[in-house]
A = this chain, B = another copy of it.
């Protein structure tokens, strides 16, 4: 076992697909059929769900006009327009709320746990859909930018109160083969029995160098401390700082 990656003699179709995974933003003309989508979602909807609450829904978007509308608040990512199928994975408390109402209870002032349960439930379905798609040669990219403007996305997709889009996903047959971006050395990510805080932070400098080398190899401009600089630039000024208020307006209290 090298300190950078986990190697193993053991493998499978699923494991190979994950090991070779990369985000795909350019799609071939090959259609993604309803049969493909049914296979993908039929499998994905068997993902584990917390205490069987099934606090998720999915919107399958094929309408070009709706994909164009979605792209706008998502920083105009053109692959949202060009992908054959866009999936929106939703945290959905509507059915839970209906269950509460049958007992004279309310979902008002729902708490952080309920928000996380629905968010994680949706993420598990989304990740399952992604690997199911990969197994059919259908690839794509997850779109966290649906959280840029939850109200606008809700308006476009007709989402009722107590539903928000956790992330989207562009899917299609790939028309590009980008070089895989290196991940942090596993020595900082995978711990045994107890967390090793020194090991966690020790990967920063080696990873900055690895990521810089990757960006240089693909001709992308970068800085000396590639990852640290990027993360600071993206997140230290509180990215999507209006999300709490926006999700409160969607009926998620996170309190």
Please tell me if the beta carbons of B186 and A45 are within 8 angstroms of each other in the complex.
yes
The CA of A203 and the CA of B95, in the complex, are separated in Å by 9
Q: What residues of B have a CB within 8 angstroms of the CB of A132 in the complex?
A: 12, 14-15, 18
The CA of A82 and the CA of B216, in the complex, are separated in Å by 48
Interface: A209 (CB within 8 A): no
Q: What residues of B have a CB within 8 angstroms of the CB of A190 in the complex?
A: 41, 45, 57-58, 60
Residue interface mask A95-139, B partner, CB < 8 A = 1: 110111011011100111110110110011011101110111000
Please tell me if the beta carbons of B193 and A95 are within 8 angstroms of each other in the complex.
no
Interface: A80 (CB within 8 A): no
Size class of the A contact interface (CB-based, 8 Å): 35 or more
The CA of A106 and the CA of B235, in the complex, are separated in Å by 10
Min C-beta distance of A131 to chain B, whole Å? 5
Please tell me if the beta carbons of A189 and B240 are within 8 angstroms of each other in the complex.
no
Which of B12, B99, B194 is within 8 Å of A228, CB to CB? B99
Residue interface mask A178-202, B partner, CB < 8 A = 1: 0011011010111111111100110
The CA of A60 and the CA of B195, in the complex, are separated in Å by 9
Q: Which of A10, A14, A105 has its CB near the most chain B CB atoms (within 10 A)?
A: A14
Please tell me if the beta carbons of B42 and A19 are within 8 angstroms of each other in the complex.
yes
Which of B6, B60, B98, B112 is within 8 Å of A201, CB to CB? B98
Which of B19, B102, B114, B128 is within 8 Å of A239, CB to CB? B114
Known: A10-B36, A14-B14, A41-B6. A159 touches B195 (CB 8 A): yes
Which of B45, B48, B184, B239 is within 8 Å of A142, CB to CB? B48
User: Which residue of chain B lies nearest to A144 when distances are taken between CB atoms in the complex?
Assistant: B50
Residue interface mask A130-168, B partner, CB < 8 A = 1: 111011100001101001000000000111100100110
6 closest A-B pairs by beta carbon, nearest first, are A6-B42, A14-B135, A8-B39, A12-B135, A18-B43, A113-B240
A-side residues, CB < 8 A to B, are 1, 5-15, 17-21, 23, 35-36, 38-48, 50-54, 56-63, 66, 90, 92, 94-96, 98-100, 102-103, 105-107, 110-114, 116-117, 119-120, 123-124, 126-128, 130-132, 134-136, 141-142, 144, 147, 157-160, 163, 166-167, 180-181, 183-184, 186, 188-197, 200-201, 203-204, 211, 225, 227-232, 234-236, 238-241, 243-244, 247, 254-255
